[in-house]
Chain A
Amino acid sequence: QKEVEQNSGPLSVPEGAIASLNCTYSDRGSQSFFWYRQYSGKSPELIMFIYSNGDKEDGRFTAQLNKASQYVSLLIRDSQPSDSATYLCAVNRDGGATNKLIFGTGTLLAVQP
């Protein structure tokens, strides 16, 4: 079992729709969870992080965390073509003792105009 799993996609949604991206992780001791966006040929940029169970909203983005189910998701409302990118889920390793991150393979999102 991979430490961080994501559906590779591509996930195709029409412009204006809600895109839902999912991620599961294997280490129950993980404390911090991050969503990064990566455009082709570029380095990742942080969208959101979440530490507590529940929802966290930032503009059009909502991160959801369920530690019991070891599941974290990212919702993108009113999706725009500029949101088309690969979304990487990252989970803190070592139970929070360090800043090391384990990345999933990413989900490619394609927003159709």
Chain B
Amino acid sequence: GAVVSQHPSWVICKSGTSVKIECRSLDFQATTMFWYRQFPKQSLMLMATSNEGSKATYEQGVEKDKFLINHASLTLSTLTVTSAHPEDSSFYICSATRGTGKGDNEQFFGPGTRLTVL
């Protein structure tokens, strides 16, 4: 159990376009989902925390108007990169927890989405 999927697995787009990435928990209800970004040879950087039915909480330095997050149900969160530019090219990974939101719950990671902006 505790499988998280992401779609698409990779996407190439032109500069200025918007890209939507979906994150789904397949066999559990995710109370909280997280979105990370990872540049080559760097660690995962948390972008935002998403709770079902409420606004996402963004980390310092992450533009909420550029990275739109919607968590419409307990099994689906979406990240939309608006007006993408080459510097947005990265590996975007979501994770989900099924717990109470306290710090004792494992995060289950999706397989990631590689975004390349030309």
Contact = CB atoms under 8 A, between A and B. Distances in A.
A106 B103 contact: no
Contacts of B34: 99-101
B43 A32 contact: no
Interface in A57-112: 88, 92-106
A98 B46 CA distance: 13
A83 B14 CA distance: 37
Contact of A98 (B43, B103, B106): B103
A97 B43 CA distance: 23
B93 interface: yes
Interface residues of B, number: 24
Given A42-B112, A43-B112, A103 B44 contact: yes
B99 A103 contact: no
Contacts of B54: none
A101 B104 CA distance: 11
Contact of A31 (B103, B106, B110, B111): B103
A91 B107 CA distance: 12
A99 B44 contact: no
Contact of A51 (B44, B104, B114): B104
Nearest to A92: B103
B67 interface: no
Contacts of A41: 114
A94 to B, nearest CB: 7
Contacts of A49: 106
Contacts of B25: none
B107 A99 contact: yes
Interface string A26-41: 0000011010100001
8 contacts: A44-B44, A44-B93, A46-B106, A88-B44, A94-B103, A96-B104, A101-B34, A102-B46
Given A96-B104, A99-B107, A106-B43, 6 more contacts: A31-B103, A32-B104, A42-B111, A43-B93, A44-B109, A100-B49
Interface of B: 32, 34, 42-46, 49, 93, 97, 99, 101-112, 114
